[in-house]
Amino acid sequence: MEQVDDGQHTQEGVSTERAFEADPIPSLSETITARAIAASFILGVALCAVAMKISLNSGFLPSLTVPAGLVGFYLVRAWIRALDCCFQVPHQLPFTRQENTVIQTCVVACSAITFSGGFGTYILAMGKNAAGGDVRDGKNIVEPSIGRTVAFLFLVSFSGMFVLMPFRKVMIIRHRLTYPNGMATAHLINSFHTPQGASKARQQVEMLFRSLGGTMLWNMFQWFFAAAKGCGFGVFPIFGLEAYKHGFYFDFSMSNIGIGMLCPYTITVSMFIGSVVSWGLVSPYLATKAGVWYSSHLSPSSLSGIRGYKVFIGVSMILADGLFNFLSIVAYTLHTMRKRRSRQQPIIIQGGGCGGGSEADDGDTQPLPFHCLNAAAEQPKKSFDDRRRAQVFLRDHISNSVNIACYVLLSMVSVAAIPYLYPQMRRAHVALIYLAAPVVAFCDAYAFGVTDMNLSSTYGKLAMVLVGSSVGRNDGGVVAGLVACGIVMGTMSNANNLMQDLKTGYLTLTSPHTVFISQAIGTALGCVVNPVMFWAFYRVVQNGDTDVFDAPYARVYRSIAMLSAGQDGIPMHSLWLCKLFFALALALSVFREVAMWKRWRVARYIPSIICVAIAFVVPARIPIDMFVGSLVLYLWRRADPSKAPTFSMAVASGMICGDGLGMLLSSTMALMHARAPICIKFMSRTDNVKLDAFLATLPVT
């Protein structure tokens, strides 16, 4: 969107940078401070616990940028006031929006490793739990290890930081990509540092902490009544015992309710519809085939039984919707690039004659492939905000040669180290992935900037299929495919996050150098904190408490890897069902897109295919919880339309954070062998009569 500078106003409203015109740009030492690092560490650890719990239970990981920016602002403000009151520290540095951006970047980089690190997907999919307990195929099972995971994450995550740094000006200045989430975060941070924004932020943080505290107290209350598996309010048969047997019950999960409050109504309703189809129609039908299509003596977690059929059906629908969306986004991205290129003429530069000099400047006259990036700051009809932001963004010179050298070095180390960490992976495959990564990452980051859709997992699944089929099941193709998926996801997801954070820094006058260092600090912290956090949850499962997490997406990734490596062990007729649901999902996706394009009224009633597919692989209680969250938000907006939009996100974030911290506390108590004193169970009237009769036969002591 073009802006026209008319002194104080633009086409988008009052100029943001005019309000901060008198504030000097802080230096690097004034931005990356000890208090910013301390706040980032505290928030990073807390949000990692929250993100880990969500990822392991539902597979959904909502954006944590708003809670990170909000709580980071309040935490540092409280830090400054405490020092003033208790120690009367003279000459404290003012808390600027640039320092706020540093905290937000560090925290989000740390918690994002939960997704890109694959703790709920490819890392867990390598283990025996995702394989349904079948340990006969030793080459295709690798149990999680802290040391191996930390080393792997450091290699792939830092590679992603360097792969797109040479293109930062192309993304932010020349193409002016939106990066909606990064832009929204920047506007939020800018508003915090105005008097009106600070007052509103304080009220939102107070509401967030009330919600967080109430959720943690509720979790502690529930813990006292869950002395054994199947006990407590988490198995409350609110729809009746017969529905409970089919998985339909409400488990009072505050994090899932909070996620439902944050998600659009289309998402939660689609998942609820999917759970009805999956657990109410497909599961009963498959149950009639026990002993015919599959053995009737299989465990409920086996991928050779009902769960396997439903996982493969869900995977086929996810692949159909992902393929359609991928092709649509590629077509839209190419169309957008062609339109923008047709409106611009190539600019020939004379060695550093544009602004602060070209990054490709070697003293020769040459046409740059992306024209003169620095010239974008000098184009006419730019608003005051654009000129000010471009000036700060372009003044830091980060050498392309250094970025390229670091990426090449990390690639060489990865080619040598990753096959050592995972012997099933071949060096040639690692090298090919790192050779293709810059091109694919650029395309993905461009699409991410236009649509706000992170396709790193889609590219990861593609790498999984290619590598897994190349290696073969007999040589460990399942694990090799999952490792290839991890390399692609870790590299591309971190590259996307960095570009988004650079957009936030651009809009808050935070230099790229500062953003890059903040991202590096947060990434390093996440590569250590997340494996430790995961290990705490995983040890609880190994000790026998299997209710800690369900990890539905791990089975999805395991199933895709199995399909790519070979068809051994796939349930009978599952491929036929996969083809059927793949065709249905693809047809419905096309129809939904056509209906939206032609503005048919029926478009709003067509469910999201990928959400329906996810309901096939997650327990029915999760869509029910999310649907309840959406219902609560809807009723709140009807009852109080003035306060609900302002505080609903804070309440939902508090519920998610409180439930995650409560889960971490209960997992710690389980590791310490602490047991709840009471067990509440629900049973039918007939079973209760039988239990009373049995107890009456026992001798009285």
Contact between 201 and 100 (Cβ < 8 Å):
no
Cβ atoms within 10 Å, residue 29: 8
Where residue 486 falls among pLDDT bands split at 50, 70, 90? very high
Q: How far is residue 364's CA from residue 61's CA, in Å, rounded to a whole number?
A: 48
Predicted pLDDT at 54: 74
* Averaged pLDDT for residues 434-460: 77
The tokens describing 518, both together, are 């903040």
Where residue 131 falls among pLDDT bands split at 50, 70, 90? low
pLDDT cut 70: percent of the chain above it: 79
More confident residue, 319 or 525: 525
pLDDT at 694 over 60: yes
Least confident of 172-186, 382-396, 485-499: 172-186
Where residue 375 falls among pLDDT bands split at 50, 70, 90? very low
Nearest to 118 by CA among 489, 463, 473, 539: 489
More confident residue, 701 or 614: 614
pLDDT at 188 over 80: no
Where residue 74 falls among pLDDT bands split at 50, 70, 90? confident
pLDDT digits (tens, 9 = 90+) for 595-646: 888 888 887 788 888 778 878 877 888 888 889 988 999 999 999 888 888 7
* Averaged pLDDT for residues 426-452: 83
* Averaged pLDDT for residues 696-700: 76
Predicted pLDDT at 362: 36
H-only helix segments in 508-551 = 512-542
pLDDT digits (tens, 9 = 90+) for 244-284: 877 778 888 887 888 788 777 888 888 899 888 888 888 88
pLDDT at 372 over 60: no
Predicted pLDDT at 541: 66
Predicted pLDDT at 366: 34
Q: What are phi and psi of 569, to 5 degrees?
A: 85, 0
pLDDT at 321 over 60: yes
Where residue 484 falls among pLDDT bands split at 50, 70, 90? very high
Q: How far is residue 555's CA from residue 618's CA, in Å, rounded to a whole number?
A: 10
Q: Which helix (H) or strand (E) holds 266?
A: helix 265-277
pLDDT at 139 over 90: no
The tokens describing 628, both together, are 């309840």
Could you tell me the CA-to-CA distances from 1 to 56, 252, 353, 511 in Å, in that order? 40, 45, 27, 23
pLDDT at 65 over 70: no
* Averaged pLDDT for residues 444-473: 77
Least confident of 10-19, 171-180, 210-219, 223-232: 10-19
pLDDT digits (tens, 9 = 90+) for 205-227: 778 778 888 888 888 888 888 77
pLDDT digits (tens, 9 = 90+) for 424-438: 999 999 999 999 888
Mean predicted lDDT score pLDDT of the chain: 77
Dihedral angle, C-alpha 256, 262, 267, 271, nearest 10 °: 10
Least confident of 127-136, 345-354, 523-532: 345-354
Contact between 32 and 518 (Cβ < 8 Å):
yes
Predicted pLDDT at 471: 87
Contact between 355 and 134 (Cβ < 8 Å):
no
Task: Provide the strand spans (E) within 256-394.
Answer: 348-350, 365-367
Predicted pLDDT at 679: 82
Least confident of 373-387, 478-492, 607-621: 373-387
pLDDT at 196 over 70: no
pLDDT digits (tens, 9 = 90+) for 390-421: 888 888 777 888 888 999 999 999 999 999 99
Residues paired with residue 350 on neighbouring β-strands, in sequence order:
365
pLDDT at 97 over 70: yes
The tokens describing 659, both together, are 């439930």
pTM above 0.85, yes or no: no
pLDDT digits (tens, 9 = 90+) for 324-366: 876 776 777 677 777 766 765 444 333 333 333 333 333 333 3
Predicted pLDDT at 553: 76
Predicted pLDDT at 83: 66
Predicted pLDDT at 700: 67
Predicted pLDDT at 186: 79
pLDDT cut 90: percent of the chain above it: 13
Predicted pLDDT at 420: 93
Where residue 320 falls among pLDDT bands split at 50, 70, 90? confident
The tokens describing 420, both together, are 């050592």
